[in-house]
Chains A and B, each alone.
Chain A
Amino acid sequence: MSGKIYVAHDALSGLLDDLSKKFRVWIPQMMDQASGHIAFGVYAPGKKPELTRRSRLSPKKILFPSTDTLFKFTHVKDPKDPVRYTIDLKESFDNGPTLVFGARPCDTRGFQTFDQVFLKGQYKDVYYERRRQNTLFATLVCQDSDTACFCSSVGSGPADMTGSDMAVIPIEGGYVIEGLTDAGRKLVEASGSAPSPEQAAEAEQIKQKTAAMKVGEDDLTGYADDLTRRFTDMDFWREQVSPCITCGICTWVCPTCYCFSITDEASGMSGERMRSWDSCMFYLYTLEARGHNPRPTKMERYRNRVGHKFSYFPKKYDGMVSCCGCGRCIRTCPVSIDIRKVVKELKETADDRA
């Protein structure tokens, strides 16, 4: 077989119904009609994937939940000597077979950043690793970028299938789904029938046309040293960050922001050790126990956010920018701070920028 299937629009629910018997299937779906809020949710029969408009929240939480129980603990008292107790620990994993259907290339590519940090270093994050191994991505070839999109500026593009197991290509009347990895091909071939030669050709043409599209005007890679030079230029940071209200939206919606906090949430004798998302835009993020805060204002905090993605990360990981260009931070920022503009202006003079 060709490793490709054709699914007509009206057959998509049937396909998802079948897949959801084997996988926990996540799809972008309309969460609130009134505000047009689209986010990833678990598929259940009757739910409709929203594939024509971008989701406001990324699929990050599927592999990296906003709150994740690391283990459960119970203090067990010694009945003979109640002052003494032992601690009973229980593993906590939640990682059945999972399929993410209909994420955009930027969404899927966001996990490349996670992979570097959570899988490829000296220590592996076992919670992330188990989910990662059990998750397949069927990624939509993306044809409708908007004014905040800039995937091509960070070394990607609207047909970039890095990290995807299947490509979902919209054609007239439906979709061609193409297996890209062994697991993806196996699943695709078991899930439907091959496209007609015309459909396959149309899909190929759309794929190529989309791959040739340039989303985002400037190349935003290669700014690592410019940030270093700008580091102490507080006038620059004041100018860029004055409107910032130091909420955490940009970090919450970001597919590559991976910072977390660990807390024990206990009540009585038992509780859970929990990992939850943290945001470098918050004052408490760097507040030290003694009371000192090395990033006391929004200028230092925002500088860190830009520096992490466009300078420190690429310096550490072979030039890879830890930004996937999805534009969510721009779209959802209450004061429309544009990270593209900030990065571009890191270069100090017009000559630098040329």
Chain B
Amino acid sequence: MDDKTNALREHVKGIFSNLELVLGWEPGYDPLHTRPFYVRTESDIDRLTANCLSVHNLTRYLAKSMNAVDPAADGRKIGVCVKGCDSRSLVALIQEKFVSRDRVYVIGLPCRGTLDARRIRALVPDPARIRSVNAEGDELVVETDQGISRFALDRAIARKCLQCRYPNPVIHDVLIGDPVTPRLKIDAENPSVAAVEALSLEDRLLFWENQLDRCIRCFACRNACPLCVCQNHCIMETRMPKWLTQYRNMNEKFMFHMIHALHLAGRCTECGECERVCPVGIPVALIKEKINAIIYEMLDYESGIDPEAVPPLLTFSPKETGI
């Protein structure tokens, strides 16, 4: 996302008196990070930041935050900043009635891609001492103690962004900035899924075994997901019934990731948060992307586009075609 900080602050200043709070981003602990930010007072607005490091999907807090709804707010709306991908999660939450459309004021931010801090660290010679990162056109400019380096932006943005089909928010009350051109057509094949599918069955199994073997069961992928809504009733943690053991072996890890993915079948909006937050770098979103491809092919359905639509696995139609 190009830097929209000033335009966003100006807009929020104008409407803040009508809102309970605004979910946005603020600068993080170093030049490679921002962090989610709850704008609760006028004076907070000047901390708002919106740029290529605004990676977090803030709709996650709408369904799962303990703090978002204040009964004293007289029905004032909650403002939420969304990129294209985030807006689809919001649509899915509205479909499933976790969020009421009337309750939110949607600030849409067209996005050309968010940066992947790990990819940037791998690019520069002195990753421990990055002073600033800026997207300028199609270039990423990184300043470290050793000087300034320039890279093609595509080498530094997140995997999900390289295959983005919805860079512009699909719902919004206001759009900050001009719409951008999607990288892929809506019905284009997912290149990451295709790359794994091209492997032989044995190699594919090996690929996933190698990836999932690193899982430390921290559950960040689950907790970051805006649509993983079981919260404290997740099968990974309930002891009664006890679905999984405490063993950190492949069976248990595989089971967790498959359950996670299957619960998101036809619901996952490919915001990529599960993959971004993984501390051990497992491409966990790939599993969900594959399932989404199946849903699209068999049921002609794409998640998080139409707030009125009913996700196919949340309904039953005797006349269902395609399966």
Task: Find chain B residues with CB under 8 A from A34 CB.
Answer: 281
Is there contact, CB below 8 Å, between A147 and B280?
no
Instruction: Flag B206-248 by CB within 8 Å of A: 1 or 0 each.
Output: 0000110010101110111000000110000101000001111
Query: Chain A residue with minimal CB distance to B233?
Result: A283
Q: A interface vs B, CB < 8 Å?
A: 31-32, 34-37, 39, 53, 56-57, 66-67, 144-148, 238, 242-243, 245-249, 252-253, 261, 263, 265, 274, 276, 279, 282-284, 297-299, 330, 332, 334-338, 340-341
Q: Is the CB of B281 within 8 A of A249?
A: no
CA distance A337 to B211 in the complex (A): 27
B28 and A336 contact, CB distance less than 8 A: yes
Measured CB to CB, the nearest residue on chain A to B273 is A334
- Given known pairs A247-B223, A336-B34, A338-B29, the reply for A35 and B281 (CB within 8 Å) is yes
Complex Cα–Cα for A246 and B66 (A) = 11
Some 9 contacts from A to B, beta carbons below 8 A apart, are: A31-B280, A34-B281, A66-B216, A147-B31, A148-B30, A249-B277, A282-B237, A284-B232, A332-B279
Residues of A within 8 A of B28 (CB): 336, 338
Is the CB–CB distance between A334 and B216 below 8 Å?
Answer: no
Say yes or no for B35: interface residue by CB 8 A criterion: yes
Expressed in whole angstroms, the minimum distance between the Cβ of A270 and any Cβ of chain B is: 14
By beta carbon, the residue of chain B nearest A53 is: B127
Q: CA A243 – CA B58 in complex, angstroms?
A: 9
With A and B bound together, what is the CA distance between A32 and B248 in angstroms?
19
Interchain CB contact under 8 A, A263 and B246 = yes
List chain A residues, Cβ under 8 A from B121.
Answer: 36
> Nearest Cβ distance between residue A54 and chain B, in whole angstroms?
8
| Known A147-B128, A252-B279, A298-B66: A36·B35 in contact at CB below 8 Å | no
Top 6 A-B pairs ranked by shortest CB distance? Answer: A35-B281, A334-B277, A247-B220, A146-B128, A147-B30, A243-B36
B38 within 8 A of A: yes
User: How many A-B pairs fall under 8 Å by CB?
Assistant: 127
Contact (Cβ within 8 A) B279 A265 = no
CB distance from A146 to the nearest CB of B (A): 4
- Are the CB atoms of B29 and A67 closer together than 8 Å? no
Q: Which residues of B contact A147 (CB under 8 A)?
A: 29-32, 128-130
Contact B38 A242 (CB under 8 A): yes
Q: CB-CB < 8 A to B282: which residues of A?
A: 35
| Complex: A297 Cα to B64 Cα, angstroms | 11
> Of the candidates B66, B219, B222, B248, which one forms a contact with A66 in the assembled complex, judged by CB atoms under 8 Å apart?
B248
Q: Across the two chains, which residue of chain A brings its CB closest to B33?
A: A336
For chain B, give the interface size range.
35 or more
Contact A36 B281 (CB under 8 A): yes
Closest chain B residue, CB of each to CB of A279: B218
A252 near B218 with CB under 8 A, answer yes
Contact flag A67-B248 (CB < 8 Å), given A32-B281, A35-B118, A37-B281: yes
Q: Is the CB of A252 within 8 A of B35?
A: no
Within 8 A of A (CB), among B43-69: 56, 60-61, 64-67
Q: How far is the CA of A56 from the CA of B65 in the complex (A)?
A: 28
What is the CA–CA distance of A34 and B275 in the complex, to the nearest angstrom? 13
Say how far B30's CB is from chain A's closest CB, in angstroms: 4
Q: Is B37 interfacial (CB-CB < 8 Å)?
A: yes
Residues of A within 8 A of B122 (CB): 36
Are A247's CB and B224's CB within 8 A? yes
CB closest chain-B residue, reference A34: B281
User: Which residues from A are CB-within-8-Å of B280?
Assistant: 31-32, 35, 37, 39, 56-57
Is B257 interfacial (CB 8 A cutoff)? no
Are B237 and A67 touching (Cβ within 8 A)?
Answer: no
Closest to A340 in B: B29
